[in-house]
Amino acid sequence: MENNLRTLAEDLAKMPSVEASVIVAADGTVVADTLDADAEKEGAVAVFVGTAAGFIGDTLDLGDFDWGVVTMTKYRMLIVEQPHYFIGLLLTSKASPALLATEVQGRLGTVA
């Protein structure tokens, strides 16, 4: 499975408007990445935001978390939740998070 996730991370990083990718287990363990920087830090952002969004959605009865975007001073990250892990994609400044989320979910067969 780890090799499959490594291949997935590499494939996602090749998508237009994506600079790099990280795949991280729900416990915070980075299982695959294409980052030149600290994968643990980027993975922590993906898990924290994805988990918090899921908790808020459950608590307020808003439904399941599918994907979201975090905008920081230096970058934007698209976070897509999967059953056993989170995907974090570092986006270019002109990327469309909604289009990329739809494409990622389509590739993974998780389009709602």
| Domains, the chain, with CATH or none | 2-108 (3.30.450.30)
What is the rounded average pLDDT for all residues in the chain? Answer: 91
Per-residue pLDDT for 112 more than 50? Answer: no
- Tell me what pLDDT residue 109 has: 79
Note the pLDDT tens digit of each residue in 67-80.
999 998 888 999 99
Please tell me the distance from the alpha carbon of residue 94 to that of residue 107, in angstroms, as a whole number: 21
110 vs 24, more confident: 24
